[in-house]
Each structure stands twice: as C-alpha cells, then as structure tokens.
Amino acid sequence: MPKARGRPGHNKGFLRRELLQLKVSAKAAQLEGGRNGGKGETLVSDDDLTSEVLSHCSSTSENASVPEEGNETIDEQVVQEKAEEKLKQCIDNTMDKSAKARQKALESLKLAFSSKILSAFLVERSVSLTDSLERCLKKGKGEEQALAAAVTTLLCIQLGSCQEAEDVFKTLKSILINIITDKSASLTARHSCADALGTCCYIAADEAEDLAACLACLESVFSASYIKGDGTVPSHNSQIHVLHCSALLSWSLLVTICPPSKIQRFLEIHMSKLPGLLCSDNVSLRIAAGEVIALLFELARKSDQDYFYEDTGQLCEKLKALATDCNKYRAKVDRRKQRSIFRDVLHSIEDEECPEEVVKFGIECLYIDGWVRRRAYDAFKDILGSGVRHHLQHNELLRDIFELGPPLVMDAATIKANKISRFEKHQYNSAVFKARTKARNKVRDKRADIL
C-alpha cells in the first residue's frame, strides 16, 4: 500500500469528516424510517442533526486528548524505570564471576554517576554497592581496581554530606590505603586510588584521625620524589611520576581543610623540599609542585599576613626560568602549558595576585579567584569530566562547597529569556578582540617604553 502523503493529521481529518457524514446519513435514515413507519414522533432538521453529531465528535476528540497527555507522563515514568533497571543490573553485574563483565558494569556506573544526579536512587543501595566495590578493590586487578576507585569517588559525590557517604569512606579507606602503598599493585590502580582517597576524604571524613591517616599515606608516596640527602635527584619512570603527581595533588586538596596549626607544620616540613620537584623531568610533576607551592603560600598568608619565606628570592628565580622556558627538547604543548601555569604561580608569590577564572554553567557562573578554590574545582573536574557543569547546577554537595546556594528551579521560558543570542555573542567577542588587539599593539610598538 503506498505511503500516505500530506500534512500530519490530514488523514485523521479526512476520516473524521467521513465518519461525520455517515452518522448524519444514518440519523437521517432513522428519522425518515420513523416518519414512514409511524415510530418517529419528533421532526428534526438537517442543521440540528449536523450540530448534534458535531458536538458528539468534538466531545469524543476532547476525551481522546486526555490519554495523550497522560501518555507523555507515563512514557517519562517508563523511561525512568528502564534507566533504574539498567543501573540495578549494572550493580548486580559488579558481583559477576567474569572480570570482563565486572569491568563493563563499572564503566557503565562511572558514566551514569558522572552525567546524572542519582542521589535518591543510590541512598537506598549504598550498602550493596559498597560491598560490590569492596570486592572489586580486593579481588580485582589493574583496570578493574582503577575503575572501582573512580566509582567510589563518584558514589561519595552523589551521596554528598550524609551518613551514607561517611559509611562508604570508612569501609573502603583502609583498602584504598593498602593499594596505594602496595608496590606490587598495578600503578594504574595505585594512582586512581590516590585520587579516590583524597577526594573521598575531602567529602566524607568526619574524624581528625581519618584525615591524618590519609595525609600521612599520600605524603609517604610523593615524598619519594624529593631530592635525597646527598643532593641526587631520584630516578623514576613516567608511571611512577603519575602516581606521585596524583598523591601530591590529593594531599594538597586535604591540606585546604586542615586547621592553621597543621598548615604551619606542613610549611616547616615541605616548603624546603617542594622547590626541588621543580627540577623534575616530568612536566606534570613540575606543574603540580608549582601549584602546591602557590597554594601553601596562599594558606600561609591567610593565617598570617606577615608570612615570610626565607628562600623566596631563589624560589622566584626558579619560577621565572620555568615561566620563560624555551628548551627545544621539551614538547611545545608542555612548554606552553608550563609557561602559563608558572607565570600565575610567580605573580601569586611576588605580587599576591591570584589567577581568576570564570566557569559558566546554565545561567550561573562560578568565580575561581584563588589556588584553594582552583584545587577543589580541578579535583571535581578530573573525576566528573564533561558532567561537572551539570553537577554544579544540580548537585547540592558541589553547590555547598563552592557557595552557590541551593539549586535553581527554572522553567523553559526563564532559560530562554536568559540565553544570549548568537548576534549578541558575536558582538561581545568582537569587542573583546578589539580591546585585546589595542592592548597588544601598545606593547608591540617599538616606541613604547618597555620596563
């Protein structure tokens, strides 16, 4: 049968008219029969017949429209139920005998947890999921352990500041520490567990002993990259450098929630050793060391405005060299990234000017105006990936950490009204480009006084 053409609903309208004509004809024949057979007692005109059938058809169509609206709600519920069933199946599959099936289930959970808000769903299943993750961390190998550690972090982010998140952290803390300090374990699993230990402790640690244990564990790992007592630089492969970098950044995240007395102790121990990491062969470790130095300076100045570091001059010389590094044996991308970061670090130490960054999500903005805030944002961005903006909009934990207030409830009209048009965006970009060009031309002009 050939496919019907025309506007949507055209065939429905045609059938409705046909039905209307048939009902009018039937009604007329019935009345005509009544006249001829003596059973019809009332005479009805053709206009009355038409109006009666029209009213009947219109009421039928109105009644039919109600289930259509109801069907939309039912469809949404069906989609939600199917999604929850898939998540339940993934949670069950984390206990599968096949390592490949467990790994696939963990990958699915990682994707779902990073892209959606599932707090209500996970609160009821936190115990069973924690048991599954514990088994994967204990009995799994390599990639499975790394995925289980990532899912553990995402689970704590989803649960937020509640008792369930604390229970997850307390149950898995010792296992994460054992994997991090186990030199025979996979390096992929170790650095993933280092990230997980720092972030989970930052979110869910409720006791000072837990915080101290996590700090000590991470400190014991990255301190292996410090220059030795005889002045020699430790030699490590790239994977060990990744582990030490993860441990250092996780340690610095936890330092931000320590009391001033602890920070003073960390300054005494580490400020003389961290500059040695600036000479590392690994660009990521060099950058991490620079960011941690700037973060410690910021924390020190918050607790003591007159804080003074004796070797500031020597430290600034190293930072200037890295901020202007043009060695050809280093990759161009690494040099560009390194120069940008160390310029910011240098300005922070010399001029006490912290780099500023604006993160836009929906109709809101997050202002990052310091190294402490930047470290927290980078930690969540690394684990959430592209889902960080969605979580900034709807996740109560992140909104509380970054002081964004409760999640905004907006309808489609409000979102559309606040959306910038393409023309307005073009005009704004043009103005910024002109201002930037003028500022650069002043410096490029040979007649300008360059100080």
Structure tokens at 356: 């500023």
Q: Given this model, what pLDDT does residue 442 score?
A: 64
Closest CA to 146 of 204, 97, 103: 103
Q: What is the pLDDT of residue 249?
A: 96
Question: What is the pLDDT at residue 221?
Answer: 94
Closest Cα to residue 126, out of 83, 82, 157? Answer: 157
Q: What is the pTM of this model?
A: 0.75
Amino acid 418: pLDDT: 54
User: Taking a C-beta distance cutoff of 8 angstroms, is the pair 144, 177 a contact?
Assistant: no
240: closest CA among 175, 318, 185? 185
Judge whether 362 and 178 are in contact, CB under 8 Å.
Answer: no
Amino acid 445: pLDDT: 53
* CA 263 – CA 257 distance, rounded (Å): 9
**Pair 350, 316: CB distance under 8 Å:** yes
Q: Quickly tell me which residue has 């993934």 as its tokens.
A: 90
As a whole number, the mean pLDDT across the chain is: 81
108-136 pLDDT, tens digit each: 999 999 999 999 899 999 999 999 999 99
Q: Report the pLDDT value the prediction gives residue 244, as an integer from 0 to 100.
A: 95
Contact 290, 280 (CB under 8 A): no
Residues of the chain with pLDDT under 50: 1-12, 31-32, 34-69, 446-451
- DSSP 8-state class, residue 408: P
